[in-house]
A and B are shown apart, each in its own frame.
Chain A
């Protein structure tokens, strides 16, 4: 079974890029969301194995979406996507329960590595 992923980013460009990178890494993209609210709804609908969540999104921010997803499913494996320089914010996200983060601009091997690590953390010991 391939790992099922939900991609949430308000930029279609970034979604496409993540889709390409993750597909090349053998992941299956089950849904895409273009804002935080859609992300929460899509998570409930598809219960993916992994979520990539952009931080700056309209309607509901990445942090709000993260909290709602984790409230509904404490085992959710969420990886944050941040821009360079959002370090403090990323620390907040990790504190709030994100499993990892990737930094834009995306480099395929870095993305796959970060997501692989996040998955390892979430596997039962």
Chain B
């Protein structure tokens, strides 16, 4: 038996268990009576039981004995419930076990027995309830029956909450980035493999390839699981913020949340905080009327703000609705005319729907201008940009009768990628940074033309260049006043992309290329830059293939 391997497994798993036990103790301390405390005691019992078993098999008798004592001690709590005084002792026992596990991990040896902890567990137990005396031989029939009874009780308990471990968000992000990378490479391999269908490949090889495809798909599924989190995380703050703001403005508001349990990509959620706050603030600041005004209009003095999330076909729908004074259509029309957006005759005919759309125009978005209208529109253009950057859309609607309703339609999953932005004849395209080796400045004289081909001398080696302007059908580039070359990261050979210049790299959300452009294989996806401009991602493999 490979002891070192089991020692590592033991340390890992026991550490996880002890973290979970601390969490269960915290749950017990928070004092919620009822089922949650049953679950917490059950978790403590199960984790202790598991540590005991592992330690026994490695012959760490000090650990297994302490775990055994703790298990015995926890057993009556499963029926009687825990009392405040009990928790302190359990805490100490957990800490003692933690110390032992650390010792195992550092020295690889069995730690010495903690006699005082054992004694305390033994002494306290007597006070707790008249239970069978503890230090019985393992085969003692009485104790065996008691333990079996306890275990049998465990079987009848409700299922405990799903196990979880604490992981740094950064580690998760790095892991997910690697999974993303792996998936890209896998996709590439699949393409290459299809190109080899006329080759005679060894059967074992193609079988392994197919097996790997399955594993990568499975990995992808699990990675997606890790990426999702309930929208509760951003929604649950809203009532508090809304209440505070309302009080400050002498208003009264009730916030109703729905669909907090809907799961969504963390990357999407991380960007929703700001837009949602914006919309909630707007609704309270400018939508909901003061209580007196509401009474005059025959409304209840307390305003209502509903924020709901729902999921449909891979999309997340968020809806923010208030019962305030709504939009002043006439004033928005007038403002649009004043700002030169429409001639008066056209503005008069604008439908209410169209007027709502105008709220998202940048020109309508400064507070002063719009609060003259109806107070709507503060920063709504910024909200719209964020939502569109995520690959979503936003819609404003005047609720018949009163109030406003904003609907956000978002992808529930996005692919986050770091890209380099390349300028070519005033157009921008994006290149995943993982394909970039470096960016080099060049001047006209440094390029050599041989027939139709251009080369660049780098590290005493002629590097073939692909003129991106020409390849994208924008016309050949003339780097006379200087340009940039992007040296690609390739295994077999070196290749440079000739461009006008490269801008700083940034993270973007990548979406699939719309079906209408589906035939353009050199486009690997589309992303919206923070300024609202869409850019296409270059599928570099396809470009290289053509080049060859």
Name A's B-contacting residues (CB within 8 A). 10-14, 16-17, 20, 55-56, 58-64, 83-90, 92, 104-106, 108
Contacts and interface: CB of A to CB of B under 8 A. Distances in A.
B8 to A, nearest CB: 10
Contacts of A55: 151, 155
A85 B56 contact: no
A34 to B, nearest CB: 9
A105 B138 contact: no
8 contacts: A13-B6, A16-B6, A17-B6, A83-B52, A85-B138, A87-B145, A104-B57, A105-B57
Interface string B184-210: 000000000000000000000000000
Contacts of A92: 152
Contacts of B10: 13
A108 B139 CA distance: 21
Contacts of A60: 159
Contacts of B148: 85-90
A88 B53 contact: no
Contact of A85 (B13, B59, B144, B163): B144
B49 interface: yes
B159 A59 contact: yes
Contacts of B54: 11, 13-14
Contacts of B155: 55, 61-64
Nearest to B54: A13
B149 interface: yes
B143 interface: yes
A13 B53 CA distance: 10
Contacts of B57: 17, 104-106
B9 interface: yes
B1 A108 contact: yes
Contacts of A104: 53, 56-57
Given A13-B6, A16-B9, A105-B53, A86 B151 contact: yes
Nearest to B16: A12
Nearest to B148: A88
Residue with the highest number of chain B CB atoms closer than 10 Å, among A11, A17, A59, A61: A11
A11 B138 CA distance: 22
Contacts of B152: 88-89, 92
Contacts of A89: 148, 151-152
A36 to B, nearest CB: 9
